[in-house]
Amino acid sequence: MAASESMTGLVDQLIALFNARSLDLPDGYFTRQTQFLLNGVPFEATLGRPPDDPLILMLTRGPAGYRFTAKAVQHAVPDAMLQRGDIEETTADGGHVVRGQCWLSGHLRGKGEPVDLLVGVDIEFRGGKIARVNATLDRAAVARIQEARARA
């Protein structure tokens, strides 16, 4: 299988797992240092504690960071579904970057307000593993999701 096919397959598998509400990740997708960002800001910088705090890093990086992120979105949008658009792959600095768009749909917790959001996604691969994921989303949409996430 060509590298781009396997990376596309990996992205598709992560989307399928998200849509199935599964937090069981295949081994080797992420390193313990895989970083997650929203609009270019690392998650560890958004939690109100020093971003180099070992507990914060344990929660926001690697497989735990993926699970933390997925559960947060699924709490805010209980029927959340992802669908991917076209993926473009480039090679730079000894790694690969997979860039594309996803659509997040569902209904916000509490209000039942429909969600249909375009999410830009940049995934950096190093050594065949995901090193960094940056999701780009309209700030107003982020605020709506955060508000819904705060609802019980």
pLDDT of residue 6 exceeding 80, the answer is no
Burial class (CB within 10 angstroms; exposed 0-12, middle 13-18, buried 19+) of 35: buried
Domain count, the chain: 1
What residues make up the domain containing 96? 3-150
Q: What is the CATH number of the domain that holds 39?
A: 3.10.450.50
C-alpha to C-alpha distance for 83 and 69, rounded to whole angstroms: 17
Q: Give the pairing of strands 129-136 and 30-38.
A: parallel
What confidence score (pLDDT) does residue 137 get?
Answer: 96
- Where b means 16+ CB within 10 Å and e means fewer, 41-76 reads ebbbeeeeeeeeeeebbebbbbbbbbebbbeebbbb
pLDDT band of residue 152 (cuts 50, 70, 90) is: low
What are 5's two structure tokens?
A: 């096919």
pLDDT of residue 1 exceeding 70, the answer is no
Q: Which amino acid is at 47?
A: L
143 in helix, strand or coil? helix
β-bridge mates for residue 117, sequence order: 104
Helix axes 62-76, 3-19, angle to 10 degrees: 50
Report, as an integer, the average pLDDT of 30-56.
92
Q: Which residue has the tokens 């396997």?
A: 6
What confidence score (pLDDT) does residue 57 get?
Answer: 92
Q: Which amino acid is at 85?
A: G
Q: Which residue has the tokens 């609009």?
A: 39
Chain segment 62-114, per-residue pLDDT in tens = 999 999 999 999 999 999 999 999 999 888 777 889 999 999 999 999 989 99
